[in-house]
Amino acid sequence: MDVQTWTYIIVGITFAIYIGIAIWSRAGSTKEFYVAGGGVSPLANGMATAADWMSAASFISMAGIISFMGFDGGVYLMGWTGGYVLLALLLAPYLRKFGKFTVPDFIGDRYYSKTARSVAVFCALIVSFTYVAGQMRGVGVVFSRFLEVDINTGVVIGMVIVLFYAVLGGMKGITYTQVAQYCVLIFAFMVPAIFISIQMTGNPIPQLGMGGTLADGSGTYLLDKLNGLQAELGFNEYTSGSKSMIDVFAITLALMVGTAGLPHVIVRFFTVKKVKDARKSAGYALLLIAILYTTAPAVAVFAKTNLIETVSEKEHKEMPEWFSKWEKTGLLKFEDKNADGKIQYVADKEKNELTIDNDIMVLANPEIAKLPNWVVALLAAGALAAALSTAAGLLLVISSSVSHDLIKKMIKPDISEKGELWAARGAAAVAVVIAGYFGINPPGFVAAVVALAFGLAAASFFPAIILGIFYKKMNKEGAVAGMVVGMALMIFYMLKFKFGVFDGGKEVVDSLKPDWWFGISPEGFGTIAMIVNFIVALVVNRFTPEPPQDVQEIVENIRIPSGAGEATGH
């Protein structure tokens, strides 16, 4: 069977499973809609958290970025892995003990202020929409290639699927769907990686294969071969970096602390019964995430080596079928500048004839390596599972921010439970449409868009959450001022240096890099905005009244581990 037929079969089966689970576990109350009734087991929650966490950026785009950036791409790996550890150890148990459904709920109650809640809702919506745009783009990329439809049609198909099980099942439906999606995505990521590792190095463990010698008996190390191929084409050596140390540090830290402020991951820790279970599920999730994260650099090396050997100096008309299929999507472009019919893939932009979108590397990898068609289709199903699981989690954050934090807590406190549930579903439906628009008109490739979402979370939520937990004298004035200034600064920097809003509306090109403040890219600027947030919050706090005594006592209480059984709060 061809790839398309296999894709229809495997994707069809997985979608049927997701929809079946959503119908079986549909939410009947707001507690089930927001936190799955609070009764999910630590292992199931760990799997759901891992699926929520490993988005299209992790599955599709991270290995793609590493394959083109080489050593420099490691910042995404370090930032996202370190960030999850930070979240699991430093924040999750305390937030769980505080016992609130959402991050705006925590900030609204901890800072005893409707203004703080409103600012937090605004920040949650900005972060979530930026993040979900990356997911919908990932869905569009997969559908456009493997179902051979237009990328925009692919986004619309993804919207319909997500809307169905996110709106029907709420957190309850999403949780059990994500358990299934984790199984699909990890199997789909590992099978091609193991196949190609055996093919290239004879080692079935991709992580070891990447650092091993080639299977051709030459004794050459795979990374040495890739360095040689890159150097021949004028690129930097794969294992050496070109980014400045300050930018590497800033991006890594922004991704780390941005993780700790991501509303859709934090809310997962409210779905278990006890604080102890929150810690356990965080540990399970870390192990499950590590499987993919330690494999991604190996996949990047395999993909880049195979790509260069397949396309460089080869006749365009002799390219295999996968090449023309990806050309149709517009994500792979060949422009014969010297009209010799051969593909010149070189570092020199004037001479280079091949443009490759980062996001296709993982998906094209098994086709380039000539693996069986069912493996190619399996990878497509895994990529969709990764994108859809995170998109669903984000849509839930958006809908709960609107229905719970805005409508229930501020606009109409006497709304019935049924009315709140309908408001949540309506907000999710509107959010899907907006997310679809951003998926069709994305501001960059998947991982870059997602990195900006992390920067926004770092700039806004992280200081407010950390100070809210560990500094009992932190007051509402300081927290609100910090969030507003941090978020505004990050948005300004993104608009200026990523989208060129203040430079005639052109997306910023490499020649403008010297204009970056402190030499830090937009993906890393969340670190600076976060530091500014902390400074503003603490300075304003110094000159404004202390928080009420009862709030200070709550803060002291959430840090006491003894007897930390059921969550406090309502």
Q: With pLDDT > 70 as the criterion, what percentage of the chain qualifies?
A: 88
In this predicted structure, the answer to whether residue 37 has a pLDDT above a threshold of 70 is no
| 334 phi and psi angles, rounded to 5 deg | -115, 125
The sign of the torsion formed by the CA atoms of 531, 532, 534, 539 equals positive
Specify the pLDDT at position 25: 63
Specify the pLDDT at position 170: 59
Q: Which domains occur in the chain, in start order? A: 3-558 (1.20.1730.10)
The DSSP call for residue 408 is I
- Integer-rounded Cα radius of gyration of the chain: 24
- What average pLDDT does this structure show over 330-345? 83
Specify the pLDDT at position 502: 64
494 by DSSP, 3-state: which? helix
In this predicted structure, the answer to whether residue 389 has a pLDDT above a threshold of 80 is no
- What average pLDDT does this structure show over 307-328? 83
How many Cβ atoms from other residues are within 10 Å of residue 135's Cβ?
31
Specify the pLDDT at position 534: 95
In this predicted structure, the answer to whether residue 138 has a pLDDT above a threshold of 90 is no
Q: Which residues neighbour 490 within 8 Å (Cβ) at sequence distance 6 or greater?
A: 455, 456, 458, 459, 460, 525, 526, 529
Burial 459-478 (b: 16+ CB within 10 A, else e): bbbbbbbbbbbeebebbbbb
- Given a contact cutoff of 8 angstroms between Cβ atoms, the answer to whether 460 and 103 are in contact is no
Specify the pLDDT at position 190: 92
395-408 tens-digit pLDDT? 777 777 777 767 77
Burial of 348 (0-12, 13-18, 19+ CB in 10 A): exposed
d(CA 384, CA 150) in angstroms, rounded, equals: 16
Longest Cα–Cα distance in the chain: 78
How many helices (H) and strands (E) the chain has is answered by 23, 2
- Given a contact cutoff of 8 angstroms between Cβ atoms, the answer to whether 405 and 108 are in contact is yes
First to last CA, the chain: 55
d(CA 89, CA 488) in angstroms, rounded, equals: 29
d(CA 333, CA 327) in angstroms, rounded, equals: 6
**Among 151-155, 162-166, 312-316, 492-496, whose mean pLDDT is lowest?**
162-166
d(CA 359, CA 447) in angstroms, rounded, equals: 8
**DSSP run (H or E) holding 355:** strand 354-356
| 40 phi and psi angles, rounded to 5 deg | -80, 140
Specify the pLDDT at position 442: 65
- For residue 86, give both structure tokens: 């930070």
Strand partners, 342: 315
38-61 tens-digit pLDDT? 567 788 888 888 887 777 778 888
Strand partners, 334: 354
- In this prediction, residue 178 has a pLDDT band, given cuts at 50, 70 and 90, of confident
d(CA 151, CA 225) in angstroms, rounded, equals: 35
Q: What is the pTM of this model?
A: 0.80
- What average pLDDT does this structure show over 66-79? 85
